[in-house]
Every structure is written in C-alpha cells, then in structure tokens.
Amino acid sequence: MSRLGNLGARLYRGEVGYDFVAKRKIWYGISILITITAIVGLAVRGLNFGIEFSGGAVFTTPKTSVSAEAARKTAQDVSGHPAIVQKLGDKTLRVQVSDLTPEQSRKTQEALAKKLDVDLNKVNTDIVGPSWGDEIAGKAWTGLGVFMILVVVYLAIAFEWRMALAALIALIHDLTITVGVYALVGFEVTPGTVIGLLTILGYSLYDTVVVFDGLKESAKDLTKQTRFTYSEIANRSLNGTLVRSINTTVVALLPVAGLLFIGGGFLGAGMLNDISLALFVGLAAGAYSSIFIATPLVADLKERDPQMKALTKRVRARRAADAAKGEAGGAAQDREPSDMGDADDEEPEDAAAGVVSQRRQSRGRGGRPSGKRR
C-alpha cells in the first residue's frame, strides 16, 4: 500500500488526524478575509458582462492576415464602444462590441469588411438585444434561487437544520469567491459562466454531504457515552473522508485546468475560458469550504444545544477523574520500597482470619507450622 493509501486508512480508522474543528476560528478568519477581498473587487471593478447580458453585436470575419489589434482598433473607432477581439483556430477573428444600435452595427460591419478587404456579406453579424440578456439573467437568478431552496429543504429533511444552514453558508461562500475572482481577473460573464457557477454548486455539496452523512452515523446515541464530544466526533468524521475529498477534487481539477490554461490560454477558445474559470475557482473553493467551513460550523451550532453542552461537561469530568487516577497511580509507583513498609502489615484488617493467621505463623522444619501434632 502506498504512503497516501496507508495515511488514508489510518485517517479513516481515527488513528491519526488533524484537529480542523478546534482551529475553526483560524479558518473562519481566512474565509472572511478572502470573501471581503472578493466583495471589494466586485464593488470596485464590477463584472464584465458579455453581449448576451448587455446587448450588442458579434462580428465573425473570414480567414485573414489582419492582426487582432488592428481589427479591435477599427471596430472601436467606428462604434465608439470598447471592442473585444479573439483570434480563432482557423485564423478567423471574432469581434465583440457591446451596447450597439442596429445602425452602429451596420457601420462597424462595413468598416471591418473594408479593413479586411473582403465582401461585406462575408463578415457575419449577430445582433443581441438587451432585453434578451435581461431575460437570461432573470432565469439564471431564478434557477439559483430554486436550487438554494431545494438544497436547504433536502438537507433539513435528510439531516437537520443546522447542517442545512452550514451547507447554505458554504455555498454562498463559494459563489462569492468565484464571482469576485471573475471581477478581479476581468473575464467576460457569459451564459457559459452561469453554467459553470451552477455546476460548481453540485461539486461543492458533494463533499459536504459525504462528511455530513458520516457525521450523522457517528453521532447516533452520542449522549449515551462520555468518551467524545460532538466536536470531536465531527473532526473524526472529517478526517475519515479527508483523503477521498482531496482525491476527488484533484481529479476534477486536472481536466478543468487543462481547459483553462491550455484550451483557453493557448488555443484562444473564449467559451472555454468562461466555463473553465468558474469551474476551477468553484471546485477549489468548494473543497475548502466543505473541510474548513461547513463541518466546523455544524459543530459550532450543535455545541450550543443543551444536550451537547451537558455531554461536554460529562466528558470533561470523566477525563479529569481519569487524569486524577492516573496521577495517583503514578505517584504510588514512584514511591521507594522502604517507604512501602512490610507487605504483611499493609494487609487489610477485614481479610479472612484464617489467611492472616496462617501467614503470620512461624515456620518449622519441613515447612510445617510449629506446635504439637495431632
């Protein structure tokens, strides 16, 4: 068995582990800092909405030797709006300009055809109205809201309301970080971005539900014992699924990283950038939140329950008693033999009389008691 596999088995059996729950204030602080950074980036830079949401036109040129920068400058000078140009794999160009009227779109098409020295009809033009973008955005928000409600209801029924609340907070945490990264990086928000965001919610919930399921099983009849508190059981469940969570996250991130850095970076595929960035950031944030946010938050909420408070007191009392017994036993072992006295003198007074009298009789020859034979 490999070292990682052996470590995973030991984590699952509870032989080794890291106390994530006890250090939850550190994880909360890190998450708050990252979330604040994402919110500030979103407020300062804002999101770069694509034409699907803001309206505009997309011009697709035939195969050309004209540079992307020259095409961008031409479209921008004619339309008066910022233009985004992407070089496609067959040496064609995709020119995107937001907030264009039909008249501005026609003039931009003519200018691009003239710059590329091609016929006007060979420059394909797709015009998107802002009303269609508003409709798409409304449906996206509706889908997100319905998803959140269904998740909370399901987790509250399958587990309990505390776990549902923790999972909801973790989902909001993941979405906020992903949207903030989009704002900071400046990537365009398209329907592909919305698809990526909805996809990462499922991945984020997967690890969280796995941990919650193990925690639910481990916490059965928890109040009938005095060995572990709820937080300790939660930490054991988290360590038991830690290796699996890491493995599934890494396996999912590798192909997404290929889409983002190879497909989007080297091949210049714009749609791949939109989807892969949301997936990459969301998967990483989801793995983090399921380990460092959701489970510690459940433990925090659960420890406020009166039964769990009473259990924690009983566990601490038992451990204090065990520690006192251990110290007493250690002190007895450290004492010198001369201090122990005669072992016979330490015999309890309520011992059997025959045993005591026989032990104190003087021995004669042959090992028999002295005195007259009968």
pLDDT in tens, 243-274: 788 888 888 888 888 877 776 555 555 566 77
Among residues 312, 333, 351, the one where a domain terminates is 312
Closest CA relative to residue 79, chosen from 107, 51, 52, 57? 107
Res. 292: pLDDT tops 50: yes
My answer on whether 156 and 292 are in the same domain is yes
What residues does 98 pair with on adjacent strands?
A: 56
For residues 295 and 163, is the Cβ–Cβ distance under 8 A? no
- Report yes or no on 369 lying in a domain: no
- Report yes or no on 178 lying in a domain: yes
Among residues 279, 312, 345, the one where a domain terminates is 312
Contacts of 268 (CB under 8 A, 6+ apart): 86, 87, 88, 89
* Better pLDDT: 374 or 244: 244
CATH number at residue 76: 3.30.70.3400
**pLDDT tens digits for range 18-28:** 888 888 899 99
Banded model confidence at residue 36, pLDDT cuts 50, 70, 90: very high
| Alpha carbon distance, N-terminus to C-terminus of the chain | 75
**pLDDT tens digits for range 215-226:** 888 888 888 888
- Report yes or no on 110 lying in a domain: yes
Name the least confident of 11-20, 176-185, 187-196, 275-284.
Answer: 11-20
Q: What pairing do the DSSP bridges indicate for beta strands 188-189 and 48-49?
A: parallel
Domain count, the chain: 2
My answer on whether 157 and 112 are in the same domain is no
Q: What is the pLDDT of residue 3?
A: 65
- Report yes or no on 4 lying in a domain: no
Among residues 312, 335, 351, the one where a domain terminates is 312
- Report yes or no on 7 lying in a domain: no
Q: Give me the helices (H) in 16-99, please.
A: 24-45, 51-54, 68-79
**Which structural domain, as residue segments, surrounds residue 40?**
21-49+132-312
- Report yes or no on 31 lying in a domain: yes
- Report yes or no on 350 lying in a domain: no
Q: What's the pTM?
A: 0.71
My answer on whether 194 and 284 are in the same domain is yes
My answer on whether 119 and 157 are in the same domain is no
My answer on whether 144 and 96 are in the same domain is no
CATH number at residue 255: 1.20.1640.10
